[in-house]
């Protein structure tokens, strides 16, 4: 495919779309699907037919709108209407209302803070693209950026743009993406690889799932630009097997891109070649860690290895390998298209751009939100998230998953950026935010995370393998009301040791939830240990009767 073909296809698709007066777009993400959006789409198609609106109105699949708990979501363009909780029975009314007043009882208020405070960059087009059809992507400027990159820019220029943009990895650690690309580019080797990390193992995080489901082409385009910028010929997308829809979307996207020559040999008539394959995870959290991920792509047990050497120099089959998170790759197209200055204008001094968060737990609006870096937690939870349901009180929010920590009410005005989160003892992680109210027991939460780390530990290094099991036993003992203050001291001793001596980030991060809850909720631990009482009433204390007066 050459530039002319790309533009011709895009123009053709746009012309096709213009033939219709109305577009009904039904969310086909995992959450809406499980709320029966397939049946809604079929009902809408049938109604369009019955009301002889064919040729006037189209019904297509779209992506996630963020409000996952309110699905199935249906939007109507160009009227800009959004409906929530749609059932097949509503289909007739929706089709009848086209061009006139909307259907009131399912109408979603898009001027609400949930929508107005967000800034869509990664989640651009707010789900209006059909993730199954490359034409839909092309009509909206898809692959224009790759064309610009490979025909007008040198690899060095692209890397400079990424460095200047200030983009930092969205997979957790927040390492400068530009610097990582430079390291891979400078490494001497005839073979290089690009890997997209779609393992998303943090329970409570589902940003990457949505990004892969809704923007498979955008991720491929970002990876292809990265490959051109670092000199790689082969790419892999590592997706966890729990995401079957993401896998099939990505497979479809690869097939369609290959067919048009947007992947393969001689992309846009240049000498640049790039192919992408999918590798399935198989239920191992540790495989999100980059060296374990490489072992898994090689078909082995997902055991991490010590770094240095880093994958950028010594990665897949020993060759220089660029590993970035799904969302990092999703940011590449907007940066190259709009320029690094534009991107660097969003966010805070050291954290640029936006971040997609997955809000869940005890919060009104569970779902996906994208905000500019630096927004306060209060705005996210109360304005966008709609606050805590059931008249309960906010207690804490867990970020960074099982290696992260909690942020409490005293830090509600904290701006969300990499450094600020680090300062209060947690970290950005991939963007999961689990809100807890006063019905959650923090010791129970710490115990939960430790059990997670214990069962997900690969078992290679001693501190993580034995340490997480020992710490889990101690936490379990505390939640049973059988622990002593000596046990607490031992727990703290082990937390320090496991953090400092474990081989990889899983073990190094495993003590974090304990350290963080001890920092902010030590009194809850003491109630369990000294008074044998669980203040939130979650833990079943074995010894309660004996101690109560």
What is the Cα–Cα distance from 527 to 524, expressed in whole angstroms? 5
Q: Which residue has the tokens 């590993």?
A: 323
DSSP 179: H
Give the interface segment with other proteins, choosing from 46-54, 252-260, 340-348, 451-459 (CB under 8 A).
Answer: 451-459
Torsions phi, psi of 312, nearest 5?
-60, -25
Residue 349 interacts with, from ligand FES, other proteins, ligand FMN, none (CB under 5-8 Å by kind): none
Query: In degrees, to the nearest 5, what angle opens at C-alpha 509 toward C-alphas 503 and 510?
Result: 95
Chain length of the chain: 549
Nearest CA among 382, 376, 357, 360 for reference residue 421: 376
Contact region with ligand FMN (CB under 6 A), list: 16-24, 150-158, 164-172, 274-282: 164-172
Residue 406 contacts which entry, ligand FES, other proteins, ligand SF4, none (Cβ below 5-8 A, type-dependent):
none
3-state secondary structure of 354: strand
Q: Which does 204 bind (CB under 5 to 8 A by kind): ligand FES, ligand SF4, ligand FMN, none?
A: ligand FES
What does 178 bind: other proteins, ligand SF4, ligand FES, none (CB cut-off 5 to 8 Å by kind)?
none
Interaction pattern, residues 181-220, with ligand FES; x per rule: CB under 6 A:
----------------------xx----------------
| Cα(247)–Cα(277) distance, integer angstroms | 11
- Cβ 468 vs Cβ 450: under 8 Å: yes
Report the residue number, 310 or 343, with the smaller CB distance to other proteins: 310
Partner residues linked to 408 by β-bridges: 396
* List 204, 405, 505, 513, residue binding ligand FMN (CB under 6 A): 505
Contacting ligand SF4 within 293-332 (CB under 6 A): 304
- Identify residues 252-281 at the interface with other proteins (CB under 8 A): 279-281
**Are 355 and 400 within 8 A, CB to CB?**
no
Site string for ligand SF4, 252-291 (x = CB under 6 A): ----------------------------------x-----
The item of ligand FMN, ligand SF4, ligand FES, none sharing an interface with residue 502, based on CB under 5 to 8 Å by kind, is ligand SF4
Cα(549)–Cα(103) distance, integer angstroms: 61
Interface with ligand SF4, residue 502, by CB under 6 A:
yes
Contacts to other proteins from residues 377-416, by CB under 8 A: 398, 401-402
Binding partner selected for residue 40 from ligand SF4, ligand FES, ligand FMN, none, CB under the kind-specific 5 to 8 Å limit = none
Nearest distance in Å: CB 204, ligand FES = 5
Residue 329: both structure tokens together: 């790759």
Strands ordered across the beta sheet of 22-27: 57-62, 22-27, 74-77, 81-83
- Per DSSP, the three-state class of 408 is strand
Whose tokens are 């997902």? That residue is 302
Binding partner of 171, given ligand SF4, ligand FMN, other proteins, none, CB within 5-8 angstroms per partner class:
ligand FMN
Residue 100: enclosing H or E segment and its boundaries?
none
**Chain residues in the site for ligand SF4 (CB under 6 A):** 286, 304, 457-461, 464-465, 502-504, 506-507
């Amino acid at each position: 495919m050459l530039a002319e073909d790309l533009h011709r296809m895009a123009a053709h698709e746009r012309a096709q779309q213009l033939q219709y007066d109305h577009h009904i777009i039904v969310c086909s993400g995992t959450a809406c699907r499980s709320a029966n959006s397939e049946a809604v789409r079929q009902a809408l198609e049938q109604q369009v037919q019955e009301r002889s609106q064919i040729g006037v109105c189209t019904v297509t699949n779209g992506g996630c709108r963020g409000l996952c708990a309110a699905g199935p979501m249906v939007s109507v363009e160009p009227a800009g209407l959004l409906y929530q909780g749609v059932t097949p029975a509503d289909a007739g009314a929706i089709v009848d209302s086209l061009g006139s007043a909307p259907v009131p009882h399912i109408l979603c208020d898009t001027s609400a803070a949930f929508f107005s405070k967000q800034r869509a960059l990664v989640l651009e087009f707010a789900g209006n693209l059909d993730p199954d059809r490359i034409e839909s992507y092309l009509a909206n400027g898809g692959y224009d950026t790759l064309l610009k990159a490979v025909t007008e820019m040198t690899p060095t220029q692209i890397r400079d743009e990424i460095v200047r943009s200030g983009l930092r990895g969205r997979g957790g650690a927040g390492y400068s993406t530009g610097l990582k690309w430079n390291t891979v580019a400078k490494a001497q080797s005839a073979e290089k690889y690009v890997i997209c990390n779609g393992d998303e193992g943090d329970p409570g995080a589902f940003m990457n799932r949505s990004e892969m489901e809704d923007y498979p082409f955008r991720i491929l385009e970002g990876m292809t630009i990265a490959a051109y910028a670092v000199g790689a010929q082969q790419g892999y997308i590592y997706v966890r097997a729990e995401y079957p829809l993401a896998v099939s979307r990505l497979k479809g996207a690869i097939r369609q891109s290959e067919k048009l020559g947007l992947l393969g040999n001689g992309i846009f008539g240049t000498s640049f070649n790039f192919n992408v394959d999918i590798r399935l995870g198989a239920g191992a959290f540790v495989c999100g860690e980059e060296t374990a991920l490489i072992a898994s792509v090689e078909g082995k047990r997902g055991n991490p290895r010590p770094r240095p050497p880093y994958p950028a120099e010594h990665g897949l089959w020993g060759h220089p390998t660029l590993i970035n998170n799904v969302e990092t790759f999703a940011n590449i197209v907007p940066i190259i298209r709009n320029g690094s200055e534009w991107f660097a204008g969003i966010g805070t001094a050291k954290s640029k751009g936006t971040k997609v968060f997955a809000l869940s737990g005890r919060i009104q609006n569970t779902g996906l939100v994208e905000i500019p870096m630096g927004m306060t937690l209060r705005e996210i939870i109360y304005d966008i998230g709609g606050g805590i349901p059931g008249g309960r009180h906010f207690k804490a929010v867990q970020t960074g998953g099982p290696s992260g920590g909690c942020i409490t009410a005293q830090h509600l005005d904290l701006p969300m950026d990499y450094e600020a989160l680090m300062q209060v003892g947690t970290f950005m992680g991939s963007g999961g935010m689990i809100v807890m109210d006063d019905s959650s027991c923090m010791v129970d939460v710490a115990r939960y995370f430790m059990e997670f780390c214990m069962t997900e530990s690969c078992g290679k290094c001693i501190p993580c393998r034995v340490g997480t099991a020992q710490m889990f036993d101690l936490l379990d003992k505390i939640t049973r009301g059988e622990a002593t203050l000596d046990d607490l001291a031992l727990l703290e001793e082990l937390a320090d040791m496991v953090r400092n001596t474990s081989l990889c980030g899983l073990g190094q991060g495993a003590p974090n939830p304990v350290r963080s809850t001890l920092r902010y909720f030590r009194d809850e631990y003491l109630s369990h240990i000294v008074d044998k009482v669980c203040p939130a009433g979650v833990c079943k204390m074995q010894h309660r009767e004996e101690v109560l007066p």
